[in-house]
Structures are given as structure tokens and as C-alpha cells.
Amino acid sequence: MNIVHAQRTVRVTKRFSFEMAHALHGHDGDCAGIHGHSYVLDITLRGVPSEQGGDPKNGMVIDFADLKVIVQRAVLDHYDHALVLHQADSEALRGTQDLWRRLHFKPWQPTCELLLLDIVERLSGAFNPNVQLYSARLQETATSWSEWTAADN
């Protein structure tokens, strides 16, 4: 295969999904109450495919299986099937019942936008130096999402 080497940088994306509930403290609409979403998370990395002859990852920016493990540990293990609330609501849910084992209080409002920024922070530094977190997109409903791009920051 004759590939032009002057343009070697590519982006690769993997899609993930998870279920999570949240409530927006002090919100003036329906989102003030506890409710859940089926989130869709797209993670896009930017890099140059490996040219290491004999390497099982030859030709890849990252093995999608490796990306899956990284996102599972950094994001999904924390957020999947969790209830995320602002820490201001912590007094309302005191207790040690098993019902609250996946309850996370945050010092910030658990909006789609701020959840996405937390996910980006959780993934920062997780990839080898030749791979850059290029963008992330968190879809909360079929018609609503937030996006982050490294170029904007």
C-alpha cells in the first residue's frame, strides 16, 4: 500500500453508553427532580498510526480495545448506574443503605456540560504522549448534547 506520509495524522472515535440519574439543585424546571438519562459518550483521539514493524498495534493510533479499558476505568466505573447530585443536596440523603451505594455528590451542578468537563479531566493524561484527546461529546437525550474540543482550550 502506498500511503502519502505527509498527511499521517488521523482521528479515531469510539462510542460508549451508560445510564445515570441526576438532579439539578435549584433549577427552575423539570430537571430539579431526580431523573435519568441513557447517555452516549463519543471520545475522539488524534495521533499518527504506529509504524512499528512487528508491533501488534502497528497501523493504529490506539487499539480500540485499549481505549475501551481506559474509558471504562476512568468514566464508566464511576458514572454508570450512578445518581449524581450537587453536594448541597447531601443532607437530604444521609444514610448507609445499599440503595445509595452509587451516589456521588459533586461540588458543581451535574449538568451535561459540567459532566462532560469532568469526563475530559478524568481522561487527561490517560493516553500515551503520541495520542491527544481531541474531542468529547456527551449526549444526554436524543436531541441534546454538549461538546468539548482541545482546539477550543
Range of the domain at 82: 10-152
Neighbour-count burial for 16-49, b at 16+ CB within 10 Å, e otherwise? bebebbbbbbeeeeebeeeeebebbbebbbbbeb
Q: What local confidence, expressed as pLDDT, does residue 102 receive? A: 82
Q: Is residue 108 part of a domain?
A: yes
Check: CB of residue 61 under 8 Å from CB of residue 24: no
Best CA proximity match to 123, nearest among 112, 111, 136, 114: 136
Q: What local confidence, expressed as pLDDT, does residue 89 receive? A: 87
Q: Is residue 101 part of a domain?
A: yes
Q: Is residue 107 part of a domain?
A: yes
Walking along the chain (153 residues) 10 residues at a time, the average pLDDT comes out as 66 98 95 96 96 90 97 98 92 65 91 98 94 98 98 92
Compute the CA torsion angle 85, 40, 138, 116 (nearest 10 deg): 40
Q: How far is CA 21 from CA 6, 33, 133, in A?
A: 46, 10, 26
Q: Is residue 139 part of a domain?
A: yes
Check: CB of residue 74 under 8 Å from CB of residue 12: no
| Amino acid type, 94 | R
Q: Is residue 100 part of a domain?
A: yes
Report the CATH number at residue 131. 3.30.479.10
Residue with cell 476512568: 74
- Enumerate the active-site residues: 31, 81, 140
Q: Is residue 85 part of a domain?
A: yes
**Number of domains the chain is built from:** 1
**What are residue 150's DSSP bridge partners?**
none
| Amino acid type, 7 | Q
Q: Is residue 65 part of a domain?
A: yes
Q: What local confidence, expressed as pLDDT, does residue 153 receive? A: 87
Q: Is residue 1 part of a domain?
A: no
Q: What local confidence, expressed as pLDDT, does residue 101 receive? A: 73
